[in-house]
Structure 1
Amino acid sequence: MPLPHHLPVEIGDAIASTVSELYPGAPATLLYGSTLSGERSARSDIDLLVILAGGDRMVERRVRRGGLTFQITAIPRHALPHLPGASRKAGRQVGLVGLVHGQVVLGALPELEDLRRLAVDAFTEVNAAMSRQWERNLRKAVEMAESALDRPGPGGTALALRAVAMLMEAELQSRSRDYFSTRSRLRALAEAEPDIVADYARIAASVAAGEMEPLAGVARRLLKTLPPPPDDEIVRNAPVAVFMR
């Protein structure tokens, strides 16, 4: 089957050459993230899950090749069935994003659909935990913003600026319904929502000038208006087609 139609030929070639150089003989490579979805910006990483024939551990690395940045997770094939259990134990996504969302672009992985079903079950549980964490982070940002009102001077300003960043992140995630974003994905969300970024830039400028009330007002508004993420948000949006070459 062909690669996703929106994937530029040069990126497909770069994926093939990078994997061949770093992981010769890898049975399969899955592409996921903004490059697969067609939402990639010039600064986005290319997210790859590389399946290894052997080895005893998962390795994550970030490399640059030909002006492109690759975020690579490499996992031994025999370890794939254990990822859901590891994710449940860790309370976070341990290699699950690529397994649930990924599409094979190099090689073949006949057991992918069976693995995907196992991973989706674990993903649902992990998402529920991360959803609760998102809400806790929002409440923490609101508390920080309110605490900054009672802390004049550099300490209060630093606390308030940190709250500004956390509140902007929460609002970007809520607006896009992308609640568990990586750093590169957050940059893409910010580029897609310049009005939100501009609003928070103005709030940050007010904070730097010693005016905390605008920040406190925004914090209270977000706490009342931002809906919590549904536990199955990522799972419902997971692609099911597999592209191979």
Structure 2
Amino acid sequence: MDRMIYLAMTGAKHVMTQQATTSQNLANVHTNGYKADQVSFRALPVVGDGAPTRTYVVDNTIGHDLSQGSLQQTGNDTDFALGTPGFFTVQTADGREAYSRDGGFVADPNGMLRTRSGLPILGDGGPITVPTGSSVVIGPDGTVVTTPTSGADRTPQIAGQLKLVNPGERAVYKGEDGLFRLNAGGNATASDDVKVVSGALEGSNVNAVESLVQMISHARQFDLNVKLMQTSDQNEQKASQILALS
């Protein structure tokens, strides 16, 4: 009886963990460049005397879905998306590289290109800075071209080259901040295969309908495990009554 209660309890606990992951995905259904987390159950053997054939399940985060989100045309000159697999490179607060699919850029008062959350956009030689009072155009290969919006000289100038990387889906993991990093540590090398789409943003790849169905499934699985615990407890009480009568 104790084993059944334990198995049902661990099942309920890990269903709640899966539900939290699905809730996180649903909360980011409108977050630009967001990639859905994926979870599953896996079986583990019960270690102990008399239980060589018994197993229980735990929640296991198997990774993330890097499929392309829908491209939304915004008409904003500082909005960019990636039309191919890969990432933009940003600099985190600790000075290290991280990778993102969100191409909503802004220029701060000093002309440094940043994400809308404030992270510097990195090029091949470090953060990219554009002259103030200039329009910014990024070519498909990541070349940053600026053009003065006032004055007699309106000659376009190259301000830098975005560091676009494509280390591969299995080579990266997603941190709690939503940014990707290399599993092996270090920095990814630039890739010529990553292409930029100007005037657009990539939407989240979370399927809201599928996530809602998963939430319902999680709730039913949780109820089932709770009923198993209740049934096990009732059986134990009945067994105790029989033993007391005998």
More helix by share: 1
Q: Which has the higher contact order (CA 8 A, sep 6+)?
A: 2
Q: Tell me the TM-score normalized by structure 1.
A: 0.26
Identify, as 1 or 2, the structure richer in strand.
Answer: 2
Q: TM-score, normalised on structure 2? A: 0.26
